[in-house]
């Protein structure tokens, strides 16, 4: 931007994404924010939070709900407005979204699902949010969290190929100019499991791509096999995660699948201090018995448990493989070996697959 | 035992193991206990604990240290005597055993390593433990935790083949009588990684064997590929785990190996409440680059993280596979995607393997 010229032999585009601003009346009013990865902007948002009593978060995805939870911890009255039938519906199956909404209710966060915002109202400053039901929600701060889109301005002006709104890349993460790589939210993605376009925007995916692009700069050494997608979150005391395809995603692509579920306390016996119910659901293709995804909710151990499911997906393990895999257990750290959720969910799926 | 006759077509021996009682003078004195899976016996031990002030635990393995930690929580003065150079030396490499001994010191548990008990002393009741240094440790309760041996009395009297002190089984977990199966501590074991005899006595291994033996009763449907061995524990605030072979075990069988290590807080950023340092070590064979084991210590997430390492061992993943596997991360649940310990430990090993 300042005219300096930097010569390059290889170039990596990591221009990320920017928040989508929906075309709603009043969206430009002072007091309306997005969630941006910009420290100066976030500090101004924090100052606005300090002045606010009633906050409306538009969008009940991962970012919206985690933000709502943080605002709740700071004592704000928070309402989340979600246009879909349930919060987190684009990420998780209904069993998890229902559990998340229970937790939001327990935390005192108001949630309006199936509701569309028709206008943000105010006179020189935001005062309320109007819903399509006609209802008016009081608000002295509004945060938009309705998703992000790849930031492709530079790539587009350089004449690189775009696809699905992102920068096209090959499996080595080269763009249409083989000396230019792209990684992260700005790069178009395909699903590891279906080969179809995937709108995944995750720091963990960006990092996985960076490990491939970085290795390939001067010699092709690694391939990116497509996005698995591992979404973990924590709202209040509830940790949740998904790796790969849920039931909804499997249905959407026309896969016939079999599900196995299991639940047990995440300590043993259940009377151990801090024990929480940990529930696992595994999704297998009917034709191959291979794991294509899994979901879990429970305590903090879900963070690594979902990565365990993720590696099982990536190694294309079958229900039989998972039922017989050898794990370790400890009273203070996991379920008992008899109730271990992954093994038992796989056994339940085998009953159907082999029935 | 009461003369009742139960007819059977298929029989499963799950007779477990019993604590080893070392041939030490005074071992029969009142006030000397072992750790047995017998509720009546354990209740008598609890009563003895209630009366005791000074407890000496003989044996600093997993059982001994977990017991010592529980006794410490109940306000007892506890000394652990370990004949080897370090506590847990038969399970973990030195990096973990050193960290464990630091935690024991922090908790106020006395530890005497490299020390042999020559006698348990007392007059009608235990009063002290004598070490080979001549030193006398005051004790009104002594607990022996020096290991367990397979309970093979019934199998032996039935004329079944024994090996390495356990009941010989084939890979379907049939004994030398094909209608009789054996699973758990009573059954002899071989290592998944080396094919050599393994003295693993773990509830999780027993359960994995049970899933195989149970499936095979009337038709051979599953094979047991040998013991991986996943040892997780928690002492004080420190969780630790090992899956597969450590460096010491790899050296002992003559494998040339390469190690990669990485450490980072288990939340991100490190200022997140509850964040603890989580350190991972991965061990790869030099000739194949395949993972043969891993160790970790940190907070409670180690319980599932070590299972993630265990599945990577069982799927024979290489350092390259692990460096590029796609995981999920979350500020409240894991390291950041840039510092994720498994990926970075694998990258560090690759520097050596590819160097």
For B149-189, the pLDDT digits (tens) are 999 999 999 999 999 999 999 999 999 999 999 999 999 99
Question: Tens digits of per-residue pLDDT, B216-229?
Answer: 999 999 999 999 99
**Which residues of B fall within a CB distance of 8 Å from A317?**
311, 315
pLDDT of amino acid A212: 98
> Structure tokens of B272?
């997140």
- Dist. CA A26–CA A343, nearest whole Å: 52
Q: B304 and A305 in contact by Cβ < 8 A? A: yes
Given a cut of 90, is residue A317 above it in pLDDT? yes
Question: Using an 8 Å Cβ cutoff, are B256 and B287 in contact?
Answer: yes
Pairs of CB atoms within 8 A across A/B: 180
Chain A residue with Cα closest to B341 = A304
Question: Tens digits of per-residue pLDDT, A212-223?
Answer: 999 999 999 999
- Dist. CA A117–CA A120, nearest whole Å: 8
Per-residue DSSP letter, B156? H
pTM score = 0.97
- Dist. CA B35–CA B58, nearest whole Å: 11
pLDDT of amino acid B296: 98
- Dist. CA B154–CA B166, nearest whole Å: 12
Q: A310 and B325 in contact by Cβ < 8 A? A: yes
**Which residues of A fall within a CB distance of 8 Å from B343?**
207, 211
> Structure tokens of A265?
């306390």
pLDDT of amino acid A174: 98
**Can you tell me the mean pLDDT for A139-151?**
97
- % of chain A with per-residue pLDDT over 90: 99
Q: B300 and A332 in contact by Cβ < 8 A? A: yes
**Which residues of B fall within a CB distance of 8 Å from A265?**
none
- Dist. CA B206–CA A347, nearest whole Å: 17
Sequence-distant contacts of B122-129: CB under 8 A, at least 24 apart: B122/B26, B122/B29, B122/B31, B124/B29, B124/B30, B125/B29, B125/B30, B125/B31, B126/B26, B126/B29, B126/B30, B126/B31, B126/B32, B129/B56, B129/B58, B129/B81
Which of A204, A307, A333 comes nearest B232 by C-beta?
Answer: A333
Tell which of B185, B276, B327 to mutate to test the A interface (max A CBs under 10 Å). Answer: B327
Which of A228, A241, A320 comes nearest B326 by C-beta?
Answer: A228
Which of A227, A324, A334 comes nearest B212 by C-beta?
Answer: A324
**Which residues of A fall within a CB distance of 8 Å from B324?**
208, 211-212, 222
**Which residues of A fall within a CB distance of 8 Å from B308?**
304, 307-308, 311
Distance of residue A279 Cα from the nearest chain B Cα, in angstroms: 14
First-to-last alpha carbon distance for chain B, in angstroms, is 65
**Which residues of B fall within a CB distance of 8 Å from A320?**
222
> Structure tokens of B239?
């969780």
Chain B residue with Cα closest to A237 = B332
Given a cut of 90, is residue B23 above it in pLDDT? yes
> Structure tokens of A139?
């608000």
Query: Phi-psi category of A354—alpha, beta or left, where left has phi over 0 and alpha has psi -120 to 50?
Result: alpha
Q: A307 and B241 in contact by Cβ < 8 A? A: no
Given a cut of 90, is residue A190 above it in pLDDT? yes
Which of A203, A310, A328 comes nearest B307 by C-beta?
Answer: A328
Chain A residue with Cα closest to B333 = A303
pLDDT of amino acid B44: 97
- Dist. CA B246–CA B252, nearest whole Å: 10
Q: Greatest CA separation found in chain A?
A: 69
Q: B233 and A323 in contact by Cβ < 8 A? A: no
Distance of residue A185 Cα from the nearest chain B Cα, in angstroms: 14
Which three-class secondary structure string do you get for A213-253?
Answer: HHHHCCCCCCCCCCECCEEEEEECCEEEEEEECCHHHHHHC
pLDDT of amino acid A51: 96
Which of B228, B330, B338 comes nearest A326 by C-beta?
Answer: B228
Q: B329 and A222 in contact by Cβ < 8 A? A: no
pLDDT of amino acid A201: 96
Q: CA separation (Å) from B28 to A50, A319, B31?
A: 70, 50, 9
pLDDT of amino acid A193: 97
First-to-last alpha carbon distance for chain A, in angstroms, is 65
Q: B324 and A211 in contact by Cβ < 8 A? A: yes
Q: How confident is the model at residue A355 (pLDDT cuts 50, 70, 90)?
A: confident
- Dist. CA A342–CA A322, nearest whole Å: 7
**Can you tell me the mean pLDDT for A150-156?**
98
Given a cut of 90, is residue B355 above it in pLDDT? no
**Which residues of A fall within a CB distance of 8 Å from B326?**
192, 204-205, 208, 227-230, 310, 314
Q: A337 and B206 in contact by Cβ < 8 A? A: yes
**Which residues of B fall within a CB distance of 8 Å from A205?**
326
pLDDT of amino acid B302: 98
Q: What is the mean pLDDT of chain A?
A: 97
Helix or strand or coil: residue B252? Answer: helix
Chain B residue with Cα closest to A63 = B330
ipTM computed for the complex:
0.96
Distance of residue B284 Cα from the nearest chain A Cα, in angstroms: 18
What is the per-residue burial (b if ≥16 Cβ within 10 Å, else e) of A104-142?
beebebbbbbebebeebbbeeebbbbbbeeeeebebbbb
Chain B residue with Cα closest to A338 = B207
Q: A326 and B204 in contact by Cβ < 8 A? A: yes
Which three-class secondary structure string do you get for chain A?
Answer: CCCCCCCCCCEEECCCEEECCCCCECCCCCCEEECCCCHHHHHHHHHHHHHCCEEEEECCCHHHHHHHHHHHHCCCEEEEEECCCCCCCCCCCHHHHHHHHHHHHHCCCEEEECCCEEEEEECCCEEEEEECCCCEEECCEEEECCCEEECCHHHHHCCCCEECCEECCCCCCECCCCCEEECCCCECEEECCCCCEECCCCHHHHHHHHHHHHHHCCCCCCCCCCECCEEEEEECCEEEEEEECCHHHHHHCCCCEEEEEEEEECCCCCCCCCCCEEEEEEEEECCCCEEEEEEEEECCCHHHHHHHHHHHHHCCCEHHHHHCCCCCCCCCCCCCCCCCHHHHHHHHHHHHHHC
pLDDT of amino acid A179: 98
With 0-12 / 13-18 / 19 or more C-beta atoms within 10 angstroms meaning exposed / middle / buried, residue A214 is middle
Q: A327 and B204 in contact by Cβ < 8 A? A: yes
Which of A239, A315, A333 comes nearest B333 by C-beta?
Answer: A239
Question: Tens digits of per-residue pLDDT, B64-99?
Answer: 999 999 999 999 999 999 999 999 999 999 999 999
Tell which of B202, B222, B326 to mutate to test the A interface (max A CBs under 10 Å). Answer: B326
Residue found under tokens 């009763």: B217
Tell which of A230, A232, A327, A346 to mutate to test the B interface (max B CBs under 10 Å). Answer: A327
**Which residues of A fall within a CB distance of 8 Å from B327?**
204, 208, 230, 307, 310-311
**Can you tell me the mean pLDDT for B7-12?**
98
Which of B229, B303, B334 comes nearest A330 by C-beta?
Answer: B303
Distance of residue A29 Cα from the nearest chain B Cα, in angstroms: 31
Q: B326 and A308 in contact by Cβ < 8 A? A: no
pLDDT of amino acid A39: 96
């Amino acid at each position: 931007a300042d005219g300096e010229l930097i010569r390059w032999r290889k170039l990596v585009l990591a221009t990320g994404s920017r928040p989508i601003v929906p075309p709603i009346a009043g969206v430009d009013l002072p007091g309306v924010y997005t969630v941006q990865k910009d420290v100066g902007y976030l500090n101004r948002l924090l100052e606005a939070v300090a002045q606010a009593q009633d906050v409306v978060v538009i969008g009940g995805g991962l970012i919206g709900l985690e933000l709502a939870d943080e605002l709740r911890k700071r004592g704000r009255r928070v309402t989340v407005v979600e246009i879909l039938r349930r919060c987190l519906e684009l990420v998780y199956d209904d069993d998890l979204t229902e559990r998340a909404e229970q937790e939001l209710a327990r935390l005192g966060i108001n949630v309006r699902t199936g509701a569309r915002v028709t206008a943000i109202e105010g006179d020189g400053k935001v005062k309320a949010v109007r819903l399509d039901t006609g209802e008016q929600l009081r608000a002295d701060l509004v945060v938009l969290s309705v998703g992000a889109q790849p930031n492709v301005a530079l790539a587009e002006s350089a004449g690189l190929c775009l696809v699905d709104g992102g920068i096209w890349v090959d499996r080595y993460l080269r763009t249409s100019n083989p000396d230019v790589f792209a990684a992260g939210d700005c790069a178009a993605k395909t699903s590891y499991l279906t080969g179809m376009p995937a709108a995944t925007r995750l720091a963990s995916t960006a990092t996985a791509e960076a490990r491939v692009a970085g290795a390939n700069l001067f010699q092709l050494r690694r391939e990116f096999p497509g996005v698995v997608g591992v979404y973990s979150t924590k709202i209040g005391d509830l940790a949740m995660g998904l790796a790969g395809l849920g039931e909804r995603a499997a249905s959407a692509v026309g896969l016939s699948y079999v599900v196995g579920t299991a639940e047990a306390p995440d300590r043993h016996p259940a009377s151990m201090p801090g024990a929480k119910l940990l529930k696992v659901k595994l999704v297998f293709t009917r034709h191959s018995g291979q794991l294509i995804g899994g979901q879990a909710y429970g305590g903090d151990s879900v963070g690594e448990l979902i990565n365990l499911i993720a590696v099982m997906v990536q190694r294309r393990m079958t229900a039989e493989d998972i039922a017989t895999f050898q794990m370790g257990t400890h009273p203070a750290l996991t379920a008992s070996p008899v109730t271990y959720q992954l093994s038992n969910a796989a056994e339940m799926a085998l009953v159907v697959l082999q029935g």
